Amino acid sequence: MAKKQGSFIGSWAFLVGVLLAVILGAIGQIGPVMTITLFVIGLIVGLLNVADKETNAFLISGVVLIIASAFGGAAVSVVGWLEGIFNALLLIFVPATVIVAIKNVFSIAHS
């Protein structure tokens, strides 16, 4: 039952995080409190939202999203709201991807 509860919380954290990132990034309201909030949401997503069978797909998607957001944000710096969205998405996906990668490394080392 705990796994279902964690998955439920992780799914909502993911949804809320992405919505917050898009909205706040678009209006340019990513201050220190929201930076920490999005980062913590990313940690929650990484810890609770990715099942073992989804790890490889999440890692590939996460790395692609991080690279695209980093370079995309720099490329569209003339469009402030779009750059803000990319930067806000990085705040969620960097910690989530790092957590999932660390969990995957421990899983590989364990087996």
Q: Give the list of residues 6+ apart from residue 88 with CB closer than 8 angstroms, or none.
A: 20, 21, 22, 24, 25, 30, 38
Whole-angstrom CA distances from 63 to 37, 60, 67 are 21, 5, 6
* CB neighbours of residue 60 within 10 Å: 11
Whole-angstrom distance, CA of residue 86 vs CA of residue 33: 18
Tokens, residue 41: 């949401």
Average pLDDT over residues 12-19: 93
Helix (H, G, I), strand (E, B) or coil at 23: helix
Radius of gyration of the chain (CA): 14
1 band by pLDDT with thresholds 50, 70 and 90: very low
Helix (H, G, I), strand (E, B) or coil at 38: helix
Q: What is the pLDDT of residue 19?
A: 96
Whole-angstrom distance, CA of residue 104 vs CA of residue 69: 23
pLDDT digits (tens, 9 = 90+) for 43-83: 999 999 888 888 999 999 999 999 999 988 888 877 888 98
